[in-house]
């Protein structure tokens, strides 16, 4: 049964991307750039003046990883031991390949890639949210549809940036791109990677990346065209066309979301493989997108927009963030449990490198707190999910937590034990994150201002107006 809400709903609302908001975003981006520049200079200074001490620290932590791996290898059966030995050789070779660049440069390249794939995933998850609500004939979400729909506009930034970063810095980010790994006469020859060469090779990787973005952008632009037509005409044919387009999008999204996670994240550790990794990255991307959607909805509501939204809509968004925080934790724990406690030699190195070293152990547990314990405890009650201030706090923490999750995925393969929290982190990593947040919001708000804020001709808009949660 539906109760009547929002008798003063204005269905003709339009978001105005004012000069004041643009100015704030440009300031955010500008401050971020300045912080990055300061961070780079600090990192260069530190590297030049403390190279001896740093090298000693690196050797100690690397030895810790090597010792832990060696222990695992002894516990393994002979074939696994061989595979692990190849993996170790690969890790060492990776270090050799990256040695020609200073650590600060590798760190900056890694940060660019980390933020790039994090926000690219959030952008496509906005399209995913819109698509599955169309296919489900969902009515409650009709009033907020245009917010996740606007996320897709960032794909125009992510697509070229992903390709350029891979083409220019592929050798620094992806160990498997080095040709000598496949030369049987080379000291760096890696039989394990040679076995994956049919999939992990530069032309196929680039082709897949182009296909992912092409399919995602085609679906997004098609859905946006139908939404625009729907605003101009009350004909429900545009809604039906959107449902069909969304169904096709969901079919290939189910494949491309996992494959892009394998390509852009898992292949940075090319000796590691997990059948759950695609789901793991999907969960991280999706809950981050849900947090951004909720945050933007609450902020728009605070600024006088979205008269259609009541506390029941916020309640459902809070439930989404709560549920998928638990889902991420479930996938995280299953992946960890199966690999770490089964002690599979060629796979456990991934967790040893992150769990048993000084550089990453604090962040390892920090991500669990930010991504599970905090949202779980705060959003457990019905009341907290209906309060804008609580949702704002939790959503910021969840976004930060999953940004750290991607930090943990992307940093060890590139920087080995030279990563982790230090004073420079507050400049280089934080600054670059601010730049990407600013650009992401600029693209989203630009798209948001181009269509009606509320899809007034959506056939289920009345259901959204009167949405109630018991």
Helix (H) or strand (E) holding 390: helix 388-415
Mean pLDDT of 431-455: 97
**Lowest model confidence (mean pLDDT) among 7-16, 63-72, 292-301, 409-418:** 63-72
For the cut 70, the answer to whether the pLDDT of residue 2 exceeds it is no
pLDDT-derived band of residue 215, with 50, 70 and 90 as boundaries? very high
For the cut 50, the answer to whether the pLDDT of residue 84 exceeds it is no
pLDDT digits (tens, 9 = 90+) for 366-394: 999 999 999 999 999 999 999 999 999 99
CA distance 189 to 235: 62
pLDDT-derived band of residue 88, with 50, 70 and 90 as boundaries? very low
CA distance 395 to 391: 6
Instruction: Name the 3-class secondary structure at 190.
Output: coil
**Is residue 356 within 8 Å of residue 60, measured between CB atoms?**
no
Q: Which residues contact 295 (CB under 8 A, 6 or more apart)?
A: 391, 392, 395, 396, 399
CA distance 142 to 411: 39
Mean pLDDT of 231-245: 94
Q: Which residues contact 83 (CB under 8 A, 6 or more apart)?
A: 192, 345, 346
Mean pLDDT of 346-375: 92
pLDDT for residue 66: 43
For the cut 80, the answer to whether the pLDDT of residue 69 exceeds it is no
Q: Which residues contact 429 (CB under 8 A, 6 or more apart)?
A: 39, 111, 407
DSSP state, residue 76:
S
Q: Which residues contact 276 (CB under 8 A, 6 or more apart)?
A: 331, 334, 335, 338
CA distance 292 to 402: 12
For the cut 80, the answer to whether the pLDDT of residue 77 exceeds it is no
pLDDT for residue 76: 39
Selected residue with higher pLDDT from 55 and 166: 166
For the cut 70, the answer to whether the pLDDT of residue 75 exceeds it is no
The two counts, helices (H) then strands (E), for the chain are 19, 0
pLDDT-derived band of residue 54, with 50, 70 and 90 as boundaries? very low
Burial of 208 (0-12, 13-18, 19+ CB in 10 A): middle
pLDDT-derived band of residue 47, with 50, 70 and 90 as boundaries? confident
For the cut 70, the answer to whether the pLDDT of residue 70 exceeds it is no
**Is residue 312 within 8 Å of residue 469, measured between CB atoms?**
yes
Q: Which residues contact 438 (CB under 8 A, 6 or more apart)?
A: 25, 26, 28, 29, 32
CA distance 104 to 42: 9
**Is residue 246 within 8 Å of residue 220, measured between CB atoms?**
no
**Is residue 328 within 8 Å of residue 284, measured between CB atoms?**
yes
Helices (H), 200-268: 202-232, 237-264
Q: What is the pLDDT of the chain when averaged over all its residues?
A: 88
420: left (phi over 0), alpha (psi -120 to 50) or beta: left
pLDDT for residue 87: 43
* Cβ density class 184-200: b for 16+ within 10 Å, e for less: eeeebbbebbbebeeeb
pLDDT-derived band of residue 52, with 50, 70 and 90 as boundaries? low
Q: Which residues contact 269 (CB under 8 A, 6 or more apart)?
A: 350, 412, 413
CA distance 442 to 154: 9
pLDDT-derived band of residue 78, with 50, 70 and 90 as boundaries? very low
pLDDT-derived band of residue 228, with 50, 70 and 90 as boundaries? very high
pLDDT-derived band of residue 109, with 50, 70 and 90 as boundaries? very high
For the cut 80, the answer to whether the pLDDT of residue 163 exceeds it is yes
Selected residue with higher pLDDT from 65 and 258: 258
CA distance 7 to 263: 49
Selected residue with higher pLDDT from 99 and 169: 169
The single residue listed with the structure tokens 């105005």 is: 16
CA distance 32 to 26: 10
Q: Which residues contact 373 (CB under 8 A, 6 or more apart)?
A: none
Instruction: Name the 3-class secondary structure at 266.
Output: helix
pLDDT-derived band of residue 346, with 50, 70 and 90 as boundaries? confident
DSSP secondary structure string, 397-446? Answer: HHHHHHHHHHHHHHHHHHHGGG-S--GGGGTHHHHHHHHHHHHHHHHHHH
Selected residue with higher pLDDT from 261 and 10: 261
pLDDT-derived band of residue 82, with 50, 70 and 90 as boundaries? very low
Q: Closest Cα partner for 125 from 329, 8, 281?
A: 281
For the cut 90, the answer to whether the pLDDT of residue 442 exceeds it is yes
pLDDT-derived band of residue 420, with 50, 70 and 90 as boundaries? confident
């Amino acid at each position: 049964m539906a109760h009547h809400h929002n008798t003063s709903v204005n269905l003709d609302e339009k978001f105005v991307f004012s000069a004041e908001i643009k100015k704030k975003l440009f300031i955010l981006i500008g401050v971020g750039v300045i912080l990055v520049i300061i961070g780079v200079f600090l990192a260069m200074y530190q590297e030049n003046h403390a190279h001896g001490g740093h090298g000693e620290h690196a050797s100690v932590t690397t030895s810790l990883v090597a010792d832990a791996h060696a222990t695992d290898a002894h516990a393994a059966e002979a074939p696994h031991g061989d595979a692990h030995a190849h993996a170790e050789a690969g890790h060492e070779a990776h270090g050799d390949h990256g040695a020609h660049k200073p650590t600060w440069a590798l760190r900056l390249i890694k940060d660019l890639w980390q933020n790039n794939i994090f926000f690219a995933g959030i952008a496509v998850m906005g399209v995913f949210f819109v698509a599955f609500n169309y296919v489900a004939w969902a009515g409650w979400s009709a009033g907020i549809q245009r917010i996740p729909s606007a996320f897709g506009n960032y794909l125009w930034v992510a697509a070229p940036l992903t390709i350029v970063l891979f083409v220019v810095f592929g050798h620094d980010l992806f160990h498997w791109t080095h040709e000598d790994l496949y030369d049987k006469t080379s000291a760096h020859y890696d039989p394990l990677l040679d076995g994956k060469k049919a999939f992990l090779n530069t032309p196929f990787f680039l082709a897949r990346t182009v296909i992912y973005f092409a399919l995602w952008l085609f679906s997004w632009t098609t859905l946006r065209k139908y939404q625009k037509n729907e605003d101009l005409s009350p004909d429900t044919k545009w809604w039906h066309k959107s449902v069909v387009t969304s169904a096709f999008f969901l079919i290939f999204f189910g494949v491309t979301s996992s494959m892009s996670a394998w390509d852009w994240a898992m292949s940075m550790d090319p000796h590691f493989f997990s059948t759950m990794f695609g789901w793991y990255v999907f969960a991280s991307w999706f809950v981050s997108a849900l947090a951004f959607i909720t945050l933007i909805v609450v902020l728009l509501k605070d600024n006088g927009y979205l008269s259609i939204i009541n506390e029941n809509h916020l309640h459902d968004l809070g439930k989404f963030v709560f549920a998928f925080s638990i889902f991420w934790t479930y996938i995280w724990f299953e992946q960890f449990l199966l690999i770490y406690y089964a002690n599979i030699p060629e796979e456990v190195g991934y967790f040893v490198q992150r769990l048993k070293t000084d550089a990453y152990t604090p962040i390892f547990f920090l991500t669990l707190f930010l991504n599970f314990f905090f949202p779980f405890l705060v959003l457990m009650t019905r009341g907290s999910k209906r309060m804008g201030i609580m949702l704002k706090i939790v959503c910021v923490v969840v976004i930060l937590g999953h940004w750290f999750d991607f930090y943990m995925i992307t940093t060890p393969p590139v920087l080995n034990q030279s990563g982790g929290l230090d004073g420079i982190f507050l400049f280089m990593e934080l600054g670059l994150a601010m730049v990407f947040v600013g650009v992401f919001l600029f693209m989203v708000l630009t798209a948001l201002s181009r269509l009606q804020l509320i899809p007034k001709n959506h056939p289920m808009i009345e259901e959204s107006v009167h949405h109630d949660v018991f």
